[in-house]
């Protein structure tokens, strides 16, 4: 296997991973379901491209360093998400989800009509600054930040909101505030992922950030397992690579992809890693549970046998 | 004035297509409390079933129409058995159902691409395509037929739900599935019936969509609009789904006709969000808060 | 269940592994395009064409490069019409399959992000119908490894506008275009620019969104604006639907379009609605030069070729001539050989300009739909 090819897929998986981690906070830890995160990616991608593209190219950019593009893209997505959250966070279940779908599509439609950014014809000539190393570092930072957040008091409050919104409210947790924090962080993650995506592809077009992209991200989160950071990491790696692995099936590959999604939902309804973490303590916990289960089984069997003997 | 009336006709016609699709969504939602995204895929299959019944089997229209609807009824039930039943048995949260539904929708679309091919197909002319003209206004014959059939299907559906025993069970289950099961109702049968009805309606929608526009594997995508319409009207409410569809179709048309076609969908989304902010459960939606 | 999934993945990996590694007397050529998704019709047609032509070359003993006979092998991958997958596929073709050149894709949005990868791997690409100027030239600089065999949007837009104004005598025009599609937005922009430059007036400028099927709201507005001609720069499915709906609304004006129109399906779906319409095309279907290819394709695949087949044909022709000129199987040498090459293709003379990597001076053909047939009107070059 060629390294350029594998590296390319790993980079894409790494970029998806950032967006998925953010979405994992929103969906997996706070219990809100979004269909519009591709919109935040689009904002990040376009703002990032604008900051770093050369002033001499068309569409023209500011020609500033990549780090500013990352910060700017993430911040822009975060700011937009604040206003979206103000409007939509009080909606419940599918209604929130349709509102995010509306916002996501709206953002894409706006970019289609903004000729300054190339409209539907896209923005070629974004500098190719997303290197393997930079993405790797960003992933590590993203994971560490999220892991610490989830373990903190704020993280526990978010989980409380997910589990029992009403009870959390009664217990004195400001539900709206925690939903908002969760939404903004997830949007910043998506925005940063968008910046990396733009600088990986070197070309962006509004149709790259369609509803399909949003659902793809959500599928990865659920596939990996709700409430599990390592699940999101694994999910991003597996599901980004899956269509490539299935290439040998040619036109059948998306059939297999769809089947795989159903299969994992049906056979592992908690996703790959639902509620579990791939940390030393997490693994020990699972092993301990397994052992306990096996012991209980052997004991039951032994009891049954001794019962028969009687 | 002529322009206004013509746009009104256009809007109602677009809305009635959305309505046919949205009712299926809402029906399943009323029992299962999740948006069945596989519905679009089933509608697409309905369009293909109808097309092949007419062209390959050379069946008369009514037979082809029924065959397509029965075919999608079967598909909807198969999808339920494979993709949702195991989740139901594990009492999985609604997110898992949605993802499973998305998997099913990807699967259905791509099975068609792999087996039948990606080409577009045109229905043979069953009803005359020449529109009825009233002075400068044009009304499609097919639009009128779709309007009538939608009305008939909906009336039958409402009668079925109101008058039959299983219909009463559906009504009860839509209030509270668990309590219903405790009262001795076979909820599995209720759910199968609901998916069957939804599937049948998907067939009806698919055949008419195919006749009005064309048949291709990505038809399912257009159902995003009908999903929006269903939310607009209030998920779980059948009259709401129809109302939401008609309103959405008309709004879209008037925005394109009088404001800007570039921003048509954008404005439609803004209005949608405004409605949701003012009425968080849509126009006629059932309240699901205490069931989460 | 899980085991099944893993088994499937394992098989996929093994199969993927098998495809690499070949003999030295075979020239491996990559192809990418959409085999799934809404552009699959064109992708399938292109890949079929490339496969057929390669088989024909091989049956005739292969091609002669630098005094040695080589067989041709195509490695084709699906990209769903998705730029992200186009990047993956390009990396796979250049990195893993080690192809010497790539044919495709058919969409500009997919061709543009390939450039840096091609440059790094030194593998040239011949795009088939990617008409955005930025596929080969960005900010005034030519991309060293991107080539194409078709004319570009500004040219096509100028031809359409010129023909409408000068030949059809239209002074007012209405536009309907797909706002979410790069091809449609590009063509609309250049039509508008050229039509207004000539002194014409755009009386309605309406759009729809990719995937829409109902255009009556926009068409009703266009009807009220009463233009001389309606320009519809998008693909045949939407063309057929919108043409039908336009006629239903009582719109009698002449319809015009670009190279997204030609297809058998346009006639079967559009029927009477598209009668008398004009469009800009890459070739004349009645041209004796294309008949042979048309019959060969039909004989092999049992259906008519789409427009893409003709351009894929010429891409293969350009590739083979380029290899002969280069005299060795090497991507870098091949890219050099393409510059300035002059090949007579079935869609016209392909003279690749070293400055733009476009086929310079390729005439456009104006086609009129008469009695359900594509009738050639004239070769038309924009000034």
Q: Domain check: are C29 and C92 in the same one?
A: yes
Classify B67 as helix, strand or coil: helix
**Cβ contact (<8 Å) for B110 and A91?**
no
B202: nearest Cα among B116, B75, B110, B61? B75
Domain total in chain B: 1
Interface A-B: count of C-beta contacts within 8 A = 131
A101: nearest Cα among A213, A19, A232? A213
User: What local confidence, expressed as pLDDT, does residue B155 receive?
Assistant: 87
Q: Which pLDDT tens digit goes with each residue over B111-120? A: 998 898 888 8
pLDDT grade for B239, boundaries at 50, 70 and 90: confident
pLDDT (mean) for B213-226: 86
Quick one: residue B214, left, alpha or beta (phi over 0 = left, psi -120 to 50 = alpha)?
beta
Q: Domain check: are C297 and C269 in the same one?
A: no
Q: Domain check: are C198 and C343 in the same one?
A: no
| Strand duo C172-178 + C229-232: pairing | parallel
Rounded to the nearest angstrom, the minimum Cα separation between A298 and chain C is: 26
Residue, of C231 and C42, whose pLDDT is higher? C231
In this predicted complex, what is the ipTM?
0.86
For residue C66, CA distances in Å to A138, A255, C22, C317, C321 come to: 49, 44, 20, 17, 12
Q: Domain check: are C199 and C187 in the same one?
A: yes
Q: Which of B120, B222, B261 lies at the smallest CB-CB distance from C208?
A: B261
Least confident of A1-5, B159-163, C371-375: A1-5
Q: What is the mean pLDDT of each run of 10 residues along chain A (310 residues)?
A: 88 96 92 91 97 90 95 97 92 82 90 90 91 96 95 90 86 91 97 97 93 88 87 92 83 86 81 73 75 77 65
- Residue C342 is inside which H or E element, if any? strand C342-345
Rounded to the nearest angstrom, the minimum Cα separation between C287 and chain A is: 33
Q: Which pLDDT tens digit goes with each residue over C171-180? A: 999 999 999 8
Site of tokens 């698919």:
B206
Q: Is residue B136 part of a domain?
A: no
The chain-wide mean pLDDT, for chain C, equals 90
Residue, of C344 and A1, whose pLDDT is higher? C344
**Cβ contact (<8 Å) for C35 and A250?**
yes
User: What local confidence, expressed as pLDDT, does residue B292 receive?
Assistant: 36
For residue A103, CA distances in Å to B52, C34, C173 come to: 39, 29, 34
For residue B224, CA distances in Å to A102, B37, C48 come to: 10, 9, 34
- Residue A5 is inside which H or E element, if any? helix A3-24
**Cβ contact (<8 Å) for C84 and A208?**
yes
User: What local confidence, expressed as pLDDT, does residue C10 receive?
Assistant: 52
Q: Which residues contact C309 (CB under 8 A, 6 or more apart)?
A: C45, C46, C48, C49, C293, C297
Q: Which of C36, C206, C207 lies at the smallest CB-CB distance from B110?
A: C36
Rounded to the nearest angstrom, the minimum Cα separation between C241 and chain B is: 7
What percentage of residues in chain C have a pLDDT greater than 70?
A: 93
Residue, of B285 and B138, whose pLDDT is higher? B138
Peptide bond into C299 cis (omega under 30): no
Q: Which of A2, A120, A128 lies at the smallest CB-CB distance from C95?
A: A2
Q: Is residue C374 part of a domain?
A: yes
User: What local confidence, expressed as pLDDT, does residue C22 receive?
Assistant: 41
Tokens of residue B248, six digits: 């959405």
Rounded to the nearest angstrom, the minimum Cα separation between A146 and chain C is: 27
Q: Measured between CB atoms, does B128 come within 8 Å of chain C?
A: no
Tokens of residue A180, six digits: 């908002």
CA gap B16, B204 in Å, rounded = 12
Q: Which chains touch A (3 or more CB pairs under 8 A)?
A: B, C
CA count, 13 A, side-chain hemisphere, A4: 17
User: What local confidence, expressed as pLDDT, does residue A81 receive?
Assistant: 96
Site of tokens 């003993």:
C61
User: What local confidence, expressed as pLDDT, does residue A242 receive?
Assistant: 87
Q: Which of C113, C180, C186 lies at the smallest CB-CB distance from A203?
A: C113
Q: Measured between CB atoms, does A255 come within 8 Å of chain B?
A: yes
**Cβ contact (<8 Å) for C214 and B6?**
no
**Cβ contact (<8 Å) for B213 and C208?**
no
pLDDT grade for C353, boundaries at 50, 70 and 90: very high
Q: Domain check: are C162 and C146 in the same one?
A: no
How many H helices and E strands in chain B?
A: 12, 2
Q: Domain check: are C205 and C343 in the same one?
A: no
Domain total in chain C: 2
Looking at the predicted structure, is the pLDDT value of residue B246 above 60? Answer: yes
Best A113, A248, A253 member to test C by mutation, with max C CBs in 10 Å, is: A248
Q: How many CB atoms lie within 10 A of CB B75?
A: 22
Q: Which of A4, A54, A247 lies at the smallest CB-CB distance from C91?
A: A4
Tokens of residue C165, six digits: 């104004």
Tokens of residue C344, six digits: 């007579």
Least confident of A123-132, A145-154, B273-282, C365-374: B273-282
Q: Measured between CB atoms, does C121 come within 8 Å of chain A?
A: yes
B215 secondary structure, DSSP code: B
- End-to-end Cα, chain A, rounded Å: 63
pLDDT grade for B137, boundaries at 50, 70 and 90: confident
Please report, for chain A, the start and end positions of each structural domain, with discontinuous segments joined by +: 3-267, 279-310
User: What local confidence, expressed as pLDDT, does residue A214 receive?
Assistant: 92
C132: nearest Cα among C165, C108, C99? C108
pLDDT grade for B3, boundaries at 50, 70 and 90: confident
Q: Domain check: are C158 and C211 in the same one?
A: yes
Chain C residue numbers touching B257 (CB-CB < 8 A): 217-218, 220-221
Rounded to the nearest angstrom, the minimum Cα separation between C210 and chain B is: 10
Chain A residue numbers touching B235 (CB-CB < 8 A): 94-95
Total residue length of chain B: 292
Beta carbons of C218 and C120 less than 8 angstroms apart: no
pLDDT grade for B147, boundaries at 50, 70 and 90: confident
Residue B284's domain comprises 2-118+141-291
- Residue C377 is inside which H or E element, if any? strand C373-380
Looking at the predicted structure, is the pLDDT value of residue C9 above 70? Answer: no
Rounded to the nearest angstrom, the minimum Cα separation between B167 and chain C is: 35
Q: Domain check: are C144 and C46 in the same one?
A: yes
Q: Which pLDDT tens digit goes with each residue over B167-194? A: 888 888 887 777 888 888 888 888 999 9
Q: What would be the CATH architecture of the domain defined by A3-267?
A: Orthogonal Bundle (1.10)
Q: Computed from CA positions of residues C247, C253, C254, C256, in that sequence, does the dihedral angle turn out positive or negative?
A: negative
**Cβ contact (<8 Å) for B257 and C217?**
yes
Chain B residue numbers touching A167 (CB-CB < 8 A): none
Q: Computed from CA positions of residues C106, C111, C117, C122, in that sequence, does the dihedral angle turn out positive or negative?
A: positive
Q: Which residue of A has its CA nearest to B228?
A: A98
**Cβ contact (<8 Å) for A109 and C92?**
no
Q: Is residue B30 part of a domain?
A: yes
Q: Measured between CB atoms, does C8 come within 8 Å of chain B?
A: no
Q: Measured between CB atoms, does B16 come within 8 Å of chain C?
A: no
Looking at the predicted structure, is the pLDDT value of residue B237 above 90? Answer: no
Q: Computed from CA positions of residues A14, A15, A16, A19, in that sequence, does the dihedral angle turn out positive or negative?
A: positive
Best A205, A211, A217, A242 member to test C by mutation, with max C CBs in 10 Å, is: A205
CA gap A124, B112 in Å, rounded = 34
Rounded to the nearest angstrom, the minimum Cα separation between B248 and chain A is: 13
User: What local confidence, expressed as pLDDT, does residue B30 receive?
Assistant: 84
Rounded to the nearest angstrom, the minimum Cα separation between A251 and chain C is: 6
Residue C47's domain comprises 24-151+288-352
Rounded to 5°, angle at Cα B43 from B41 and B45: 70
Q: Domain check: are C167 and C73 in the same one?
A: no
**Cβ contact (<8 Å) for C211 and B218?**
yes
Chain B residue numbers touching A259 (CB-CB < 8 A): 103, 107
Rounded to the nearest angstrom, the minimum Cα separation between A64 and chain B is: 32
Q: Measured between CB atoms, does B142 come within 8 Å of chain C?
A: no
Q: Which residue of A has its CA nearest to B289?
A: A92
pLDDT (mean) for B162-166: 89
B287 secondary structure, DSSP code: P
Site of tokens 């959405």:
B248
Interface B-C: count of C-beta contacts within 8 A = 91
CA gap B96, B84 in Å, rounded = 9
**Cβ contact (<8 Å) for A245 and C9?**
yes
Q: Which residue of A has its CA nearest to C18?
A: A248
Query: What is the domain-level CATH number for residue B235?
Result: 1.10.3470
Q: Is residue B134 part of a domain?
A: no
Q: Which pLDDT tens digit goes with each residue over C233-269? A: 999 889 999 999 999 898 999 999 999 998 888 888 8
Q: Render the burial of A83-114: b for 16+ CB within 10 Å, e for the rest.
A: ebbeebbbbebbbbbbbbbbbbbbbbbbbbbe
């Amino acid at each position: 296997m060629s390294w350029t090819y594998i590296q390319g897929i790993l980079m894409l998986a790494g970029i998806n991973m950032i967006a998925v981690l953010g979405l994992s906070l929103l969906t997996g830890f706070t219990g809100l379901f979004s269909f519009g995160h591709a919109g935040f990616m689009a904002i990040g991608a376009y703002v990032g491209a604008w900051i770093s593209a050369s002033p001499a190219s068309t569409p023209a950019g500011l020609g500033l360093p990549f780090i500013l593009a990352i910060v700017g893209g993430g911040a822009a997505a975060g700011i937009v998400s604040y206003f979206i959250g103000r409007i939509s966070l009080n909606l419940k279940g599918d209604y929130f989800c349709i509102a995010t779908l509306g916002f996501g599509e709206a953002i894409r439609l706006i970019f289609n009509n903004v000729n300054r950014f190339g409209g539907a014809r896209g923005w070629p000539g974004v500098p190719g600054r997303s290197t393997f190393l930079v993405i790797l570092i960003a992933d590590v930072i993203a994971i560490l930040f999220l892991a610490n957040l989830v373990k903190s008091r704020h993280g526990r409050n978010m989980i409380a909101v997910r589990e029992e919104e009403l009870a959390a409210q009664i217990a004195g947790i400001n539900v709206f505030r925690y939903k908002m924090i969760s939404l903004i962080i997830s949007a910043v993650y998506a925005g940063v992922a968008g910046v990396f995506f733009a600088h990986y592809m070197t070309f962006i077009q509004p149709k790259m950030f369609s509803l399909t992209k949003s659902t793809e991200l959500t599928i990865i989160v659920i596939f990996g397992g709700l409430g599990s950071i390592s699940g999101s990491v694994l999910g991003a790696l597996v599901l980004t690579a899956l269509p490539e692995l299935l290439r040998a099936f040619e036109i059948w590959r998306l059939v297999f992809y769809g089947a795989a999604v159903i299969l994992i939902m049906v056979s592992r309804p908690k996703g790959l890693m639902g509620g579990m973490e791939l940390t030393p303590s997490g693994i020990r916990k699972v092993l301990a549970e397994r052992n306990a289960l096996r012991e209980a089984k052997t004991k039951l069997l032994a009891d049954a046998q001794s019962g028969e003997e009687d | 004035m002529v322009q206004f009336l013509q746009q009104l006709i256009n809007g109602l016609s677009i809305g009635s297509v959305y309505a046919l699709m949205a009712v299926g969504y809402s029906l399943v939602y009323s029992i299962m409390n999740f948006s069945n995204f596989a519905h679009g895929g089933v509608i697409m299959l309905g369009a293909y079933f109808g097309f092949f019944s007419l062209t390959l089997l050379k069946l008369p229209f009514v037979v082809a129409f029924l065959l397509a609807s029965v075919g999608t009824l079967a598909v909807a039930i198969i999808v339920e058995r494979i993709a949702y039943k195991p989740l139901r048995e594990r009492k999985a949260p609604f997110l898992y159902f949605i993802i499973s539904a998305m998997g099913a929708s990807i699967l259905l679309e791509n099975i068609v691409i792999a087996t039948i091919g990606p080409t577009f197909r045109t229905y043979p002319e069953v009803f005359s395509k020449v529109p009825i003209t009233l002075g400068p206004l044009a009304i499609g014959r097919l639009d009128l037929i779709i309007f009538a059939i939608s009305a008939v299907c909906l009336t039958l559906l409402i009668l079925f739900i109101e008058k039959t025993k299983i219909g009463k069970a559906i009504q009860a289950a839509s209030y509270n599935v668990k309590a219903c099961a405790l009262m001795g109702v076979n909820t599995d049968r209720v759910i199968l019936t609901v998916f069957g009805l939804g599937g049948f309606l998907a067939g009806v929608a698919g055949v008419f969509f195919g006749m009005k526009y064309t048949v291709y594997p990505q038809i399912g995508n257009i159902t995003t609009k009908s999903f929006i319409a269903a939310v607009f009207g209030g998920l779980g409410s059948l009259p709401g789904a129809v109302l939401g569809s008609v309103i959405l179709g008309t709004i879209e048309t008037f925005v394109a006709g009088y404001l800007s076609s570039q921003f048509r969908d954008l404005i439609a989304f803004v209005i949608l969000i405004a409605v949701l902010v003012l009425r968080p459960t849509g126009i006629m939606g059932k309240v699901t808060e205490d069931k989460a | 269940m899980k085991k099944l999934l893993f088994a499937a993945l394992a098989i996929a990996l093994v199969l993927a592994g098998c495809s690499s590694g070949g003999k030295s007397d075979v020239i491996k050529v990559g192809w990418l395009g959409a085999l799934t998704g809404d552009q699959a019709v064109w992708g399938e047609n292109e890949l079929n064409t490339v496969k057929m032509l390669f088989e024909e070359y091989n049956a005739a003993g292969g091609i002669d490069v630098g005094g040695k006979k080589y067989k041709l092998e195509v490695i084709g991958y699906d990209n769903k019409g998705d730029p992200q997958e186009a990047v993956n596929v390009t990396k796979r073709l250049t990195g893993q399959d080690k192809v010497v050149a790539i044919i495709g894709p058919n969409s500009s949005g997919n061709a543009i992000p390939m450039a840096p990868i091609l440059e790094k791997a030194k593998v040239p690409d011949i795009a088939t119908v990617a008409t955005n100027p930025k596929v080969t030239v960005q900010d005034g600089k030519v991309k060293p490894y991107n080539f194409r065999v078709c004319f570009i949007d500004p040219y096509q837009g100028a031809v359409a506008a010129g023909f409408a104004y000068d030949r059809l005598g239209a002074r007012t025009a209405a536009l309907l275009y797909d706002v979410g599609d790069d091809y449609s937005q590009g063509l609309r922009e250049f039509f508008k620019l050229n039509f207004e430059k000539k002194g014409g007036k755009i009386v309605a400028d309406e759009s729809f969104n990719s995937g829409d099927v109902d255009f009556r709201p926009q068409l009703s507005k266009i009807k009220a604006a009463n233009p001389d001609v309606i320009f519809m720069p998008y693909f045949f499915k939407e063309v057929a639907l919108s043409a039908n709906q336009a006629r239903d609304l009582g719109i009698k004006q002449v319809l015009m379009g670009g190279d997204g129109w030609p297809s058998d399906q346009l006639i079967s779906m559009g029927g009477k609605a598209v009668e008398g319409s004009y469009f800009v095309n890459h070739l004349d279907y009645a041209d004796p030069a294309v008949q042979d290819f048309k019959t060969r394709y039909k004989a092999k695949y049992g259906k008519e070729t789409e427009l893409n087949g003709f351009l894929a044909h010429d891409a293969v022709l350009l590739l083979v001539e380029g290899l002969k000129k280069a005299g060795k199987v090497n991507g870098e040498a091949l890219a050099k050989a393409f510059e300035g090459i002059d090949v007579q293709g079935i869609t016209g003379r392909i003279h690749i300009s070293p400055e733009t990597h476009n086929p310079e001076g390729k005439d456009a053909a104006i086609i009129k739909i008469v009695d359900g047939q594509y009738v050639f009107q004239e070769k038309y070059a924009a000034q």
